[in-house]
Structure 1
């Protein structure tokens, strides 16, 4: 990325990592369009827009805004999403559909709207927020693991497909960090929800710390951004010692099943 101010659109910027990313880009001197399904969450931002990522009309309005106000876009940050999961015999199909509709198809809708603009410009960067769950797959989180793995695959595909147009794509894969992402979780597997809430609340990592690492990695041009030590260690364990990794995962599964 160049040293000149970038034009940045961030989804889910009303709180959590989205808000922290908006702060980080703004602190660097970039122009930020903060978007969120709840416009009250971004109303204090200099540039803000209501955007439900499952709405094609909202995405079209966001593109119209950046073209009219800025004449284009440099960085699209697909951050908005929900938490969820549940054991295979507890979480229902509707829970799976909901998490895929928001976390994957919401992102695909944004790419469908903005990729033509990036190709026309022959420049741009896409930053897709996935999770460590895209690479490491603990028990009880089938839907979340699957949708985040899909985001990882989508991001790699986009990077290859758009390279000749001067458009890059990064995927972000943090471990648990303190955020309000768990506030609206309402899945059938309440035991899994309790475990996830405990892990989020007990994390030493803040959204602001993750945002700083993400911004540094985007500036370097990293395509896979693993922003914290816990995530890096988990991925390294899976790659380097699969037997030990499987043993750890199955111990965690046994603890969950015993609840």
Structure 2
């Protein structure tokens, strides 16, 4: 029997991308899945896909940037299931542009979308997660570790996710909760190469590509989802993909000048 069989797993941002892929992987392993996202029509389509694959899926629309929605979703899950064995915070978005072109309002919007969504959902589901001694998975980015050029306010919002996750890991380990930060490179999407067309007029064309022009192959979301579940089962503290980027992260911390040079060389523009 699968480790995830009958476990209650909540995935925010579950209507597309990596969130949907994680839901798919959980469905294949017999989990009871709760998908949440802002847009009802996309959420319904995602839930129908997982149900056709044999998954037990509940779809609850809600915007994790709004406390009222977060509280409502958490209350509905608690009433229906009485437990949560995994919360995977996938909700968020990225952007392109020069750091100086990003206004304070741009930074606030990205912090709300990428960081405060994680804080709100984590706090709302923490009692159920602690009771189950389950898994809290916060999806960051390679931009949680490195701040490449031409990504606007995005790295600041993802660095915040990394810091918050480390704090939770240190504070909650003795209570048995597994807390993991996931830092993937660019995920393959149908709109890769075009989704930033309206942004960043002042940045090189190559920076509109996945990973802001990083010389990294886009990652298959289903492959990444399988990696996330395996890392959860091993109760790993972090998952960085591709793993070779860890060396650049370490170098950037120890010798920032060398790290900056290598980061410039490993991205286009």
Give the CA deviation at 1:181: 7.7
User: Could you report, residue by residue, the CA deviation over 1:49-70 in whole angstroms, capped at 9, with x for unpaired residues?
Assistant: 1021111111112111221111
Q: 1:55-106: CA deviations, max 9, x gaps?
A: 1111112111221111110100000101014212222222111101111111
**Equivalent residue in structure 1 for 2:259, among 230, 245, 253:** 245
Q: Secondary structure of the equivalent of 2:230?
A: helix
Match of 1:9 in 2: 10
- Match of 1:65? 76
> What TM-score does the superposition give when structure 1 sets the normalisation length?
0.86
Shift of 1:124: 2.2
Q: Is 2:139 the counterpart of 1:129?
A: yes
Q: Which runs of 5+ in 2 are unaligned?
A: 48-56
- Count matched residues: 254
When residues 68 and 186 of structure 1 are mapped into structure 2, their CA distance, relative to the original with a 3 A threshold, is: farther
43-52 or 17-26: bigger deviation: 43-52
Distance 1:74 1:181, change over 3 A: farther
What do you get for the CA RMSD once the two structures are aligned? Answer: 2.8
Match of 2:151 in 1: 141
Name structure 1 gaps, 5 residues minimum: none
The answer (yes or no) to whether the contact 1:177–1:205 under 8 Å persists in 2 is yes
- Runs of 4+ in structure 1 off by over 6 angstroms are none
Task: Tell whether 2:229 aligns with 1:215.
Answer: yes
Q: Give the helix-richer structure, 1 or 2.
A: 1
Q: The residue matched to 2:95 in structure 1 has which SS? A: coil
Report the counterpart of residue 155 of structure 1 in structure 2: 165
Change in 2 beyond 3 A, CA 1:223/1:29: same
Contact 1:85 1:187 in 2 (8 A): no
CA distance in 2, matches of 1:187, 1:92: 17
